Structure 1
Amino acid sequence: MGPGTYFSLFKTNIRFGILYLSVATPVVFFMGGIPVVLQLKGVDPSFIGLFQLVGLPAVIKFLLSPVVDRFFLGRNHYKKWIGLAGLLYAITLYGIGTLSVSDNFYILFFVILFATLLSTFIDIPLNALSIKVFSKHDRIAASGYKTSAYFLSGISGSGMSLLLYNHFGWSCTFSVLSAGVLLSLASLFFIKENDEPLQVHKVSFSTILSFFTQPGIGIWLFILAFYFAFILSVWVFIKPYLITKGLNADDVAIYIGFYGSSVGFVGGMVASRIGKYLTKRRILIYFGYFNMFSILILIFMEQYYFSIFFVIAVITFISIAIALTSTIVFSLIMDYSRGDSKGIDYAVQSSLSSIVRMIFTVAAGFLISSFGYTTMFCIGMIGTALVVYVVYRFYKI
């Protein structure tokens, strides 16, 4: 492959990366930035936890995919779907900016939920277009660019967007997010979609049910449901917690949005290296210990000595914990996806994991509202310890 071909591949990856980044950034702000906004407005933590339900469309993603293939739009089929859904997504984002956070809480919630549904839907033709454009040999590199785009969305959605809100307000923030989506759609004009049809696999109830009837699947379903849920619930409420401790929103955006996302990026690379030397069982146990230690530092800081040093330490350790935990869980999801139904199995496992995490986060919000942050952190610590024990005792692979 000559230099010209490499450069062409690089440009195509950048164009896809721009699309992934613009689509993901608002969702990151919904789940990471808005909790801070609500905390600043004095909203009860139980409502803040409720906002994690905006991730609900990810649970039904595999049910949305047939729509794209059933309604054929002719030449540049997937590009047209991305363009139409992206336009509606941008309009919805702009509309969110016209709503009041204080006066229209439930209306705001459902409009944001609709925006997240559009984001989830756009991801379907965008991934399909990527499969058509990139050869099998080039898809590893394409996946790397996609991963990088998602890490950048953590910075733009959790850091830059929050800073934008702090200095220019709610309406301006969503106008910028909307403009970002519209501008990114221009990338479609520079991506060539071939007319080769993709094979569409029907989703049947029997195929889904057969996944749950595999021998020994129970212990994996337990790990899938609970291994990530406790540490993620703690992470979601770190921002509102720091606001209650007197940190200003700019500092929270920098510490978590910029610094935390960067540390998480490094954590993901470390996890990929560790996976070459240890069994999946040992990785689950060791990463679980790391999660426990990370939460323990947070509890110590809350109970004994709150300082910027410990804030940085907590963000560092929990960011790495999130990266390590997500890496091993997603790796095992692929391992448990059967050869003849990989797509369906992956979607089923992702949906199960997503819905349990959302339930845990909502429950964490109610716990904080009723008993305070320390209680929630301690329950997260105990829950993580129990999951590690179950892995040690019963997981034999």
Structure 2
Amino acid sequence: MSTPVVIAFFMGFASGFPLLLTGSVLQAWMKKEHIDLSTIGLFSLVGLPYTLKFLWAPLLDSYTPKYLGRRRGWLLWAQIGVIITLFILSFTHPTHSATIASVALLVTFFSALQDNVIDAYRRESLADHELGLGSAFYVNGYRLGMLITSAGGLILADYITFPQIYRLFTVMMFIGVITTLFAPEPQILTSTPKGIIESITAPFKEYFSRSNALLILFFILFYKLGDSMAGHMTIPFYLSLGYSTSEIGLIVKGFGLGTTILGGILGGVLMLKVTIYRALWIFGILQGLSILGFSLLAISNHDLLALILAVSFENFTSGMGTTAYAAFMASLTHKTFTATQYALFSSFMGIPRVIMTAPTGFTAEYLGWVLFFIFCTLCTIPGLLLLRKLEKLAT
């Protein structure tokens, strides 16, 4: 196993670590403070930087900080920003919605900036034949980071306050800083953009010269739409069914991580034997079907076995799908404009999670949980139809 693959795991951890601190953990904090469901749903908008990160990505391709190199230098600054804003977030309160939303927005900005650099670093340091395996390690590290903050945060919520939880995780973010300091700077054989104008125009000019450029973006936009919509409301869903934060932490986040890792590893192995399009087909269909498990869970009583089964199936298929998804996007980038082009792809990937999930609170209230998750399952179909057309053009 090569060093870049191992580094991809730890950088995935640093990338996933802050994500749910402005997502499910913040949702649980707000729910505990009796904030209404519609407001919780709207808080997905603090994740807008994840969809807009292509705007500042050209700076990361064309300018090199004074220390540590082009990738590690930017990465260190982003991680320092995450640490500072997380610490400030621990002194806010959900009842002051404008304040906590503003600080959470800053957290997601620096987290998105970190993602920009890590995505570019991973593409530039991994050989082409390592993209599938490297993506699997990255995704599993990403999931582990989310597990520690989400499962750990929800379990700890029964014993300490949410502000104390956020301060603890602020300290743990230094794991990412240590990784950055010890990782080697990737060597790029192609030339870098010269000046801000070229760094902005050249990546988009190169990408949109491709005949299927728009189709790829629409596919990225819709492939995980249903999964993102369902995932955004799962914490309020579990709590509304009467599960405690400890049960959610241990089963949904803890046990679920194991099945996600298994799914990611199996997905990476299968991608050595089938084409990336075949993998996207298989994983995408399974991913859509897994959402129906939540509809069945909604009509069950407080049944821990039903919770384990629903969570396991969804996490397993999500791990498979995310591995293929990440490898597909990485394979599309040109190494001269890695940060900008990958940011474009991942920004489109983030739109369902941020913008299209904003009204899910209203949708769940209107439809009820059973019909809501059926609706989310139907929302996976457009992505598969686009995949079919994309595959035909590729052959």
Give the TM-score range, shorter chain: 0.7 to 0.9
CA distance in 1, matches of 2:29, 2:359: 20
The residue that corresponds to 2:155 in the other structure is 163
The residue that corresponds to 2:328 in the other structure is 332
| Greater alpha carbon shift after TM alignment, 16-25 vs 43-52 | 16-25
The residue that corresponds to 2:231 in the other structure is 235
Does structure 1 retain, via aligned residues, the 8 Å contact 2:12–2:139? no
CA distance in 1, matches of 2:259, 2:25: 18
Residues 307/74 of structure 1: CA separation in 2 closer, same or farther (3 Å cut): closer
> How far 1:363 sits from its partner (Å)?
2.5
> How far 1:194 sits from its partner (Å)?
9.9
- The one-letter amino acid of 2:21's match is F
The residue that corresponds to 1:34 in the other structure is 26
2:355 is paired with a residue of what secondary structure? Answer: helix
> How far 1:112 sits from its partner (Å)?
0.9
Residues 143/389 of structure 1: CA separation in 2 closer, same or farther (3 Å cut): closer
Residues 196/226 of structure 1: CA separation in 2 closer, same or farther (3 Å cut): closer
- The one-letter amino acid of 2:374's match is C
1:54 to 32, 38, 46: 46
2:322 is paired with a residue of what secondary structure? Answer: helix
1:257 aligns with 2:257: no
Structure 2, unpaired ranges of 5+: none
| Greater alpha carbon shift after TM alignment, 242-251 vs 34-43 | 34-43
CA distance in 1, matches of 2:167, 2:200: 41
> How far 1:292 sits from its partner (Å)?
3.4
- The one-letter amino acid of 1:259's match is F
Residues 274/131 of structure 1: CA separation in 2 closer, same or farther (3 Å cut): closer
> How far 1:168 sits from its partner (Å)?
0.7
User: TM-score when scaled to structure 2?
Assistant: 0.81
> How far 1:357 sits from its partner (Å)?
3.3
> How far 1:108 sits from its partner (Å)?
0.5
| Greater alpha carbon shift after TM alignment, 359-368 vs 324-333 | 324-333
2:157 is paired with a residue of what secondary structure? Answer: helix
Cα deviations by residue, 1:127-170 (Å, 9 ceiling, x for unpaired): 777889x6969987876664443222021121112222331112
Cα deviations by residue, 1:341-384 (Å, 9 ceiling, x for unpaired): 55543332221121233222112222123333223212112222
The residue that corresponds to 2:312 in the other structure is 316
1:90 to 83, 90, 96: 83
User: TM-score when scaled to structure 1?
Assistant: 0.81
1:113 aligns with 2:87: no
> How far 1:272 sits from its partner (Å)?
1.8
Superposition map of 1:1-397 within 5 A:
21-22=13-14, 24-67=16-59, 73-77=65-69, 81-102=74-95, 104-124=96-116, 146-182=138-174, 185=177, 199-201=191-193, 202-205=198-201, 207-208=203-204, 211-212=207-208, 214-303=210-299, 307-337=303-333, 343-389=339-385, 391-392=387-388, 395-396=391-392, 397=394
Aligned residues: 387
Does structure 2 retain, via aligned residues, the 8 Å contact 1:291–1:318? yes
| Greater alpha carbon shift after TM alignment, 115-124 vs 181-190 | 181-190
CA distance in 1, matches of 2:389, 2:180: 51
> How far 1:68 sits from its partner (Å)?
5.1
Does structure 1 retain, via aligned residues, the 8 Å contact 2:363–2:372? yes
CA distance in 2, matches of 1:144, 1:227: 18
CA distance in 2, matches of 1:300, 1:130: 39
CA distance in 1, matches of 2:117, 2:378: 41
2:34 is paired with a residue of what secondary structure? Answer: coil
- The one-letter amino acid of 1:178's match is T
CA distance in 2, matches of 1:114, 1:346: 21
> How far 1:335 sits from its partner (Å)?
4.2
Does structure 2 retain, via aligned residues, the 8 Å contact 1:225–1:352? yes
> How far 1:274 sits from its partner (Å)?
2.4
CA distance in 1, matches of 2:330, 2:302: 40
CA distance in 2, matches of 1:338, 1:83: 24
> How far 1:177 sits from its partner (Å)?
1.6
Does structure 1 retain, via aligned residues, the 8 Å contact 2:57–2:340? no
Cα deviations by residue, 1:300-324 (Å, 9 ceiling, x for unpaired): 3323666222211110111122122
- The one-letter amino acid of 1:161's match is G
> How far 1:234 sits from its partner (Å)?
0.9
Query: Which structure's CA Rg is the greater one?
Result: 1
- The one-letter amino acid of 1:368's match is A
CA distance in 1, matches of 2:186, 2:273: 41
- The one-letter amino acid of 1:44's match is D
CA distance in 1, matches of 2:46, 2:315: 22
CA distance in 1, matches of 2:186, 2:390: 49
> How far 1:37 sits from its partner (Å)?
2.5
The residue that corresponds to 1:3 in the other structure is none
CA distance in 2, matches of 1:69, 1:212: 18
Residues 186/344 of structure 1: CA separation in 2 closer, same or farther (3 Å cut): closer
- The one-letter amino acid of 1:383's match is C
